């Protein structure tokens, strides 16, 4: 039996093969997941599901498909309207992957999702720590200035690969320096 929460609504979770399963599954507008036989409130049981890369998931062994269902995606599919066909991603507005209430979810384009991820408190904190690191670095500030000068030169002779080899770092590091992702504070 499930305790009813005011303003919570439940919708049947339908997916390929759901009719062959012993139980039915439902998702609530507040992000809860339940299995039931006849009545969601009467004989329903709340499920915790699993965590996959920080997201709540439901692993159902369906006939012909042992796939994982991401709860936030299924709630968005049931409760939210997509803006267009480009809106393929679901973001958590408060950056909390465990808060799957429909009010916290939004369909997004790839660009929207990337922009949203960059504003995540965890990402912002990580960037701040990285910007202030002084130990464990392969390059010095003067080396980075020289690299940036070389990368921005119109008459550059060195390829990025050769430049990376010269300084003993990866090509990806060079691309990150060029884009400002790494060493952005150095001009």
Mapping DSSP onto H, E and C, the string for 27-94 reads EECCCCEEEECCCHHHHCEEECCEEECCEEEEECCECCECCEEEHHHHHHHHHCCCCCCCCCEEEECC
Dihedral pair phi/psi, residue 109, rounded to 5°: -80, 170
pTM: 0.72
- What is the CB neighbour count within 10 angstroms for residue 89? 17
Residue ranges of alpha helices (H) inside 97-152 are: 110-118, 121-131, 141-152
The whole-angstrom separation of Cα 126 and Cα 153 is 30
- What is the CB neighbour count within 10 angstroms for residue 186? 16
pLDDT tens, position by position, 53-98: 999 999 887 666 667 899 999 999 999 999 999 999 999 999 999 9
Q: Can you name the residues that pair with 35 across neighbouring β-strands?
A: 25, 45
Angle between helices 141-152 and 160-167 (to 10 degrees): 170
Q: Extract the tokens encoding 180.
A: 């400002």
Per-residue pLDDT in tens (0 to 9) along the chain, 187 residues: 899 899 999 999 988 778 778 889 999 999 999 999 999 988 999 999 999 999 999 988 766 666 789 999 999 999 999 999 999 999 999 999 999 999 999 999 999 999 999 899 988 888 788 777 777 788 888 899 999 999 999 888 889 999 999 999 999 999 999 888 888 878 8
3-state secondary structure of 95: coil
First-to-last C-alpha distance (Å) of the chain: 62
Virtual CA dihedral for 100, 114, 110, 84, nearest 10 degrees?
Answer: 60
CATH class of 10-109: alpha beta
């Amino acid at each position: 039996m499930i305790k009813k929460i005011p303003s919570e609504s439940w919708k049947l979770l339908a997916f390929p093969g759901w009719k062959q399963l012993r139980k039915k599954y439902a998702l609530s507008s507040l992000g809860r997941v339940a299995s039931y036989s006849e009545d969601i409130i009467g004989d329903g049981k709340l499920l915790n599901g699993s965590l996959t890369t920080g997201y709540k998931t439901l692993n159902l062994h369906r006939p012909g498909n042992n796939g994982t269902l991401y709860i936030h995606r299924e709630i968005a599919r049931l409760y939210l309207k997509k803006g267009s066909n480009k809106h393929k991603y679901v973001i958590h507005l408060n950056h909390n992957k465990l808060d799957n209430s429909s009010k916290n979810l939004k369909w997004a384009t790839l660009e929207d999702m990337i922009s949203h991820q960059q504003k995540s408190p965890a990402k912002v904190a990580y960037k701040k720590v990285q910007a202030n690191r002084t130990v464990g670095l392969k390059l010095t500030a003067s080396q980075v200035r020289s690299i940036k000068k070389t990368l921005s030169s119109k008459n550059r002779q060195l390829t990025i690969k050769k430049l990376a080899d010269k300084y003993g770092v990866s090509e990806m590091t060079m691309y990150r320096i060029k884009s400002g992702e790494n060493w952005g504070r150095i001009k």
